[in-house]
Structure 1
């Protein structure tokens, strides 16, 4: 009994000590009491705290608030924000502050901001007085040694999403995450940190937080307590932006207002692409390209990995591997292929001429212990110098080098190893590295970002009004202004055949990437990691990777070393199924490209977590195995070995099996559907109008291709609409709003279905002359079809399908009894037209 009593006392003592360390902190510095405030400008207030600390509140708009805590009262930073490029989000006028005995309060049209005086505590309410966000007691700011922490109130039902490309479930509640760009080959399904650092998250309480700090920050979403969550940093500032929105879409809109719009990829980037670690030869590139065309498998891009260079990183073609690279690129282009090259951010010492040049110019990071260029071990090429992209003079120097293959016709780059590689948490020697803009602990997470910025800005400088293709592995918040993203080296390196969990985890990784403003994203189809010793045994896993990967905005098959992952190496069945999946990607191009423009305008990803469209459905918080492509398509990839069925959650509304066009499921509910190896569970929202195109071997192989409208009629008397977006797909004219848009509206009535093609809106861009083919998924055979009041001739389905794409005078319709599809063909004149299908 005495022994038990002592243990209880000891446990109580330990609990008291732990609680004290969390709340009082002993020697911890806190803000203390708020004693006064000072109006700095029309939208800035500084609150003065006992002990000399100060807190800056800046209204960027009525819904976006900047909070900056300064322990010593001096609001200074070693570098301006790398991510935020605009703080003027619409605020005008002055702040109306009211003072009460216990607090200061200010109001906007959407928010009530309260600063409690004793002690200082920031609280933000919506206009209905609902508490959205609050410091946890007096711990809104805590400084302990060199660690800065901020604790916030955590509600029992509060959920969190975001932080960009992270493993694990999309809901961050109960977990902790670090921001330290890390090279993690063959990473596990819960490994953290990974390659990118995006310290932006959203709460189910209608707010988002961007913690604008480049150091090794850490987020703890209730992993330590059910009463609070926290974010912290070992350096820099507690400086964050609070963003209110009625839904997640509005919060994302605020975030891109701060950090900038995403660039749009060239149109061909939305095709399929093929790569391999040892894609490093001219003859191989030609052979692979010829094989794709001979087998009629659509493909737009062939990559070359880093072994293409003569010397790391001189941007010269490897002489033994490429006889006439410019001619090679030209020949590939004639077949519709674009070539993308890898680049690394280092210069090998073995590349003596360029290394000595950079060293003499001071273009490398330096070692503070010696004052010399930092000696960086590298996975290949021997020890290297790390190019310092924060130094302004480096930009033109690097741009001139990288332009050499671009002048040969290469279309862009993928920037690899930009963490930089071999600089993970345990590699503390890197902390002796000094960049032009600061020490490595501050610059590490933005190193890849500064590289991508140089690559893109130099591309624009040398290739005016041309879109850049640049896909990166390592990045920081704001990357969307310069680059696209892929998820790095996934897969099971120990046994490639056991990579099912890694593939499944790529779905929430991709969805979280989208929530962190990487709307144009890809994984490596096949998983990258692991030696493929038996392609037949790998076939099922490869097919399921492919069926998921074609719904990535950017789709690339890639594997390490000389492991071939072209569709045909896995056997005929896998080749045929892969071809069908890739063909579907191409057919969906007009739909996908329209959502690419929406991503540019709003920041919304193409591949969407369901909570973006159904924020009030709490079931969407745990949907890690399915997603929306745009708003109208629901995709649920099969990610289990041997599975022939799939459990799918259909949200509110009615959803139609995309493959048969007939089977309807009413949500919200879970369903089980058939999913044999040759089937990707895809559903289309009832009422949807999907613009599609015929299968081509590369994007816009046929410039005057017909626009195919797949229509799934909605409920009686309910109107549906879709606005097709088009531009030249190559230039930056889209940034100047040079495009065309065509709106289609449809309505189901008792008498039949009416489709209105509205007059095309042309802002400096006009599509090729073409046809429109309407495919209406009807329940009964129609009696008549008319266009603008004139009856259209009925023909057999085969006759309608045989109309040449360049015959623009044909008006006809057909009925397919098996599929239940009414097809109508008419010329796209750019003028309005009304099609009536009578029951």
Structure 2
């Protein structure tokens, strides 16, 4: 048995740099020899007669643990980003005693038993988790076993409707459609082989194969991952809070690139628009009804007149879309982008079947020809997205459509929905079966589209909506949704749980088909309104449904339309705040939808009825009919009702037992609270994001004397350049509030720049919670007049205090810095 300090990522391209890496024999060695370990080395390699164990520090709080055994086929890592393999090395230390080795990074340690090679993980001397039997491999099964502690709760597994605590469940790891689901589902479109524990660690299994995640189901004290093939490796991250765990885990699986700003707008989408005429008329109706719109999504009728028989055509049906380029230009002129659905299935009845076969674009049968099979849409083959030549063939269609003006891609059925297991072969540098590679098919498809779109249009951000993928697929810009949810109250109920579970592992843009997709015989205006209200505070605002009931608000009764219009407009007013959440996600990995326990180490992880939208909003969707009063769990602090500024206080520091309050709501309101000390920047009303003007903002500040100091950062750039973050081509507008006996001081400072950045910004500050007469307002040290409402509207720099609402409004101009003092 021997141990070596190496860097496995660099052994090929940078092997020269590591010729001096320390070789440590596992025969007895003295401590002085071990302490001479080269500090740049970030991996420990242990060899025994049976296995090779490598532990690599990926950041100060994360290890990759890999096992190799004779006769156990390995596949490459799909979960880890390329960036993490190229970064500067992490400082590590190695020590030993008679029984064990201890390999440590700054915030995590691995203790390896010399006799069993079992590994236990610690943070600050506290046990996180231990391998139980650890790594195992048999002819048809491989995986890992970990010992669970008695009071431990665990999230994970990806899209499931099982509750936030997934302990006690055995979950299939096989991406699979669940049509018309409601309040229970153990297997859905996007599984994740990962868990996050109340013991403050996360484990992700970097294995693409079909398998199971057993969290204390078969054996109550054992976490078992098992798969029929794939890579025998896992990633473990730790943190003092869940937010830290998320940041550390996403740091190695990859951060989500910024989407184009228009992706945060409203979509017209259904199954589906059947003609160019219907598409244009629908978009025009949004304009007539004064409902903002940024994109139209075309389902499968763009390439064929029927649901069946045409999938794989990958070209316009000119009978129903006779002038697609003209249509796209007309839409674009009105600020509306065109998004097209594509699927990876090429039917034998499609116009591209012969071309796909001739170009070897399809996954193969055991005999070597294309593997054909039947499914709902017809007899088909499956594009081999793992084969570069097949990618070339597939991408040619995307490239042609891009030249016609298509702005985004909707990849559907990418689980794949039907995928023969051991009777289909893909080429991934070597032949692999469907079962070995199933769970990364959507991941590889997204990677193909993202990388090739980036190469084709390097100055633009790709838009890629897909419903299936793997750990780390977010680094390819994926926008996932929760699949074909039933159009009923039961379908709305689990949506928060689904988005939170995915967001905690990096999939921050997980969202639902607003209004529900499947079924429904009679339009339920209350259900529709409640779902559309919830959509304002989820990452993507996209109503979508089977068209027996229109998903678009413009085709409903006037009362429904009027309520929904106000919420769509609110979504657009919140664009500066929402876009800043996108920036924060891309910079740090923090989700947009956040569980109420995110910034804590609480063991109470089961709340999925309410959530934070960013740090400012506490949102609780209404998921039952006829509700007029809602009970909400109030986190510590002072909170304002978003609609009427009523205040609620929870002055306890007890995260485990939040105060319960009751909030009255009408059909025109959703239970939304704003935390005292929050800044919320808002824009003026616009018809599409192309009209967004960041030089004219309303900034709401929620003041309470209990909050003496707070900060907030708004991000701004051109909304489309791919290099905004990498090249620092963006601005931050940093807000700070300080409250004292001298008054309330609001400081604002602009940092950074980008092309066409506003030279100045006209800002109307709305300070909530001003319950005393305002005696004086100073802007940059100079007093401004406190006017009445009518005079304030006509002024350029002034103040107005509304005694009834207890809101103070101050108009001012921000250039590089602005200071307000309110006495």
Does the pair score TM above 0.5? yes
Q: Which residue of 1 aligns with 2:362?
A: 364
| SS at structure 2 position matched to 1:733 | coil
2: distance between equivalents of 1:133 and 1:172? 17
| Cα offset, 1:694, TM superposition | 1.8
Equivalent residues of 2:58, 2:252 under 8 A apart: no
| SS at structure 2 position matched to 1:450 | helix
**Against the structure 1 CA distance between its residues 483 and 760, is the aligned structure 2 distance closer, same or farther, given a 3 Å change threshold?**
closer
| SS at structure 1 position matched to 2:811 | strand
Q: Does 1:79 align with 2:71?
A: no
Q: Which residue of 2 aligns with 1:342?
A: 341
2: distance between equivalents of 1:728 and 1:577? 31
2: distance between equivalents of 1:760 and 1:110? 32
> Given the alignment, which residue of 54, 57, 61 partners 1:56?
54
Q: Which residue of 1 aligns with 2:565?
A: 579
| Cα offset, 1:705, TM superposition | 5.1
Q: Which residue of 2 aligns with 1:724?
A: 714
TM-score by length of 2: 0.89
> Given the alignment, which residue of 631, 644, 665 partners 2:615?
631
Q: Which residue of 1 aligns with 2:416?
A: 420
Give the 5 Å matches for 1:664-813. Answer: 664-666=648-650, 668-703=658-693, 706-715=696-705, 718-734=708-724, 735-762=726-753, 766-767=757-758, 769-777=760-768, 778-801=770-793, 810-813=796-799
Equivalent residues of 1:202, 1:209 under 8 A apart: yes
**Against the structure 1 CA distance between its residues 114 and 526, is the aligned structure 2 distance closer, same or farther, given a 3 Å change threshold?**
same
Equivalent residues of 2:201, 2:245 under 8 A apart: yes
Q: 1:632-674 deviations in whole A, cap 9, x for unaligned?
A: 1110111112111212111121111111123223263111211
Equivalent residues of 1:163, 1:516 under 8 A apart: no
Equivalent residues of 2:177, 2:188 under 8 A apart: yes
> Given the alignment, which residue of 248, 259, 268 partners 2:253?
259
**Against the structure 1 CA distance between its residues 118 and 61, is the aligned structure 2 distance closer, same or farther, given a 3 Å change threshold?**
same
1: distance between equivalents of 2:578 and 2:565? 19
2: distance between equivalents of 1:46 and 1:355? 49
Equivalent residues of 1:160, 1:201 under 8 A apart: yes
How many residue pairs were aligned? Answer: 774
2: distance between equivalents of 1:314 and 1:781? 69
2: distance between equivalents of 1:461 and 1:397? 16
| Cα offset, 1:385, TM superposition | 2.1
Gaps of 5+ in 1: 1-33, 424-428, 804-809
Q: Which residue of 2 aligns with 1:594?
A: 580
| SS at structure 1 position matched to 2:668 | coil
Give the 5 Å matches for 1:143-162. Answer: 143-162=137-156
> Given the alignment, which residue of 168, 172, 175 partners 1:178?
172
**Against the structure 1 CA distance between its residues 721 and 617, is the aligned structure 2 distance closer, same or farther, given a 3 Å change threshold?**
same
Q: Which residue of 1 aligns with 2:394?
A: 398
2: distance between equivalents of 1:751 and 1:57? 56
> Given the alignment, which residue of 464, 470, 476 partners 1:476?
470
2: distance between equivalents of 1:697 and 1:62? 46
Q: 1:361-417 deviations in whole A, cap 9, x for unaligned?
A: 11110111x32211132433x322211111112333322211222222221111001
Q: Which residue of 2 aligns with 1:239?
A: 233
Give the 5 Å matches for 1:94-493. Answer: 95-100=93-98, 102-127=99-124, 129-136=125-132, 139-310=133-304, 311-352=310-351, 354-368=352-366, 370-380=367-377, 382-423=378-419, 429-437=420-428, 438-492=432-486
Q: 1:318-365 deviations in whole A, cap 9, x for unaligned?
A: 11211322121222222221111111112222224x221221111110
| Cα offset, 1:721, TM superposition | 1.4
1: distance between equivalents of 2:618 and 2:503? 16
Q: Which residue of 2 aligns with 1:67?
A: 65
| SS at structure 1 position matched to 2:168 | coil
2: distance between equivalents of 1:397 and 1:140? 43
| Larger CA deviation: 507-516 vs 394-403 | 394-403
Q: Which residue of 2 aligns with 1:30?
A: none
| Cα offset, 1:513, TM superposition | 1.4
Q: Which residue of 2 aligns with 1:617?
A: 602
Equivalent residues of 1:725, 1:739 under 8 A apart: yes
| SS at structure 1 position matched to 2:225 | strand
**Against the structure 1 CA distance between its residues 117 and 716, is the aligned structure 2 distance closer, same or farther, given a 3 Å change threshold?**
closer
2: distance between equivalents of 1:430 and 1:610? 40
| SS at structure 1 position matched to 2:374 | coil
Q: 1:730-751 deviations in whole A, cap 9, x for unaligned?
A: 1113132200111111122334
2: distance between equivalents of 1:388 and 1:716? 59
| SS at structure 1 position matched to 2:392 | helix
| Cα offset, 1:78, TM superposition | 3.6
2: distance between equivalents of 1:104 and 1:651? 43
| Cα offset, 1:802, TM superposition | 5.4
**Against the structure 1 CA distance between its residues 378 and 717, is the aligned structure 2 distance closer, same or farther, given a 3 Å change threshold?**
closer
| Larger CA deviation: 699-708 vs 206-215 | 699-708
1: distance between equivalents of 2:28 and 2:287? 70
1: distance between equivalents of 2:61 and 2:28? 21
| Cα offset, 1:716, TM superposition | 5.2
| Cα offset, 1:59, TM superposition | 2.9
Gaps of 5+ in 2: 1-24, 305-309, 652-657
2: distance between equivalents of 1:570 and 1:774? 36
| Cα offset, 1:726, TM superposition | 0.1
| Cα offset, 1:696, TM superposition | 1.4
1: distance between equivalents of 2:610 and 2:587? 25
Q: Which residue of 2 aligns with 1:23?
A: none
**Against the structure 1 CA distance between its residues 394 and 769, is the aligned structure 2 distance closer, same or farther, given a 3 Å change threshold?**
farther
| Cα offset, 1:191, TM superposition | 1.6
1: distance between equivalents of 2:153 and 2:86? 29
| SS at structure 2 position matched to 1:289 | helix
Q: Does 1:520 align with 2:503?
A: no
1: distance between equivalents of 2:749 and 2:325? 45
Equivalent residues of 2:638, 2:649 under 8 A apart: yes
Equivalent residues of 2:522, 2:549 under 8 A apart: no
2: distance between equivalents of 1:98 and 1:451? 45
**Against the structure 1 CA distance between its residues 83 and 110, is the aligned structure 2 distance closer, same or farther, given a 3 Å change threshold?**
closer
**Against the structure 1 CA distance between its residues 670 and 181, is the aligned structure 2 distance closer, same or farther, given a 3 Å change threshold?**
same
| SS at structure 2 position matched to 1:140 | strand
| Cα offset, 1:250, TM superposition | 2.2
**Against the structure 1 CA distance between its residues 799 and 407, is the aligned structure 2 distance closer, same or farther, given a 3 Å change threshold?**
farther
| Cα offset, 1:675, TM superposition | 2.1
**Against the structure 1 CA distance between its residues 448 and 825, is the aligned structure 2 distance closer, same or farther, given a 3 Å change threshold?**
same
| SS at structure 1 position matched to 2:400 | helix
| Cα offset, 1:683, TM superposition | 0.7
| SS at structure 2 position matched to 1:758 | strand
2: distance between equivalents of 1:742 and 1:824? 18
Q: Which residue of 2 aligns with 1:651?
A: 635
| Cα offset, 1:514, TM superposition | 0.7
TM-score by length of 1: 0.88
2: distance between equivalents of 1:448 and 1:68? 24
2: distance between equivalents of 1:746 and 1:114? 46
1: distance between equivalents of 2:28 and 2:526? 65
Q: Which residue of 2 aligns with 1:10?
A: none
> Given the alignment, which residue of 521, 535, 543 partners 1:557?
543
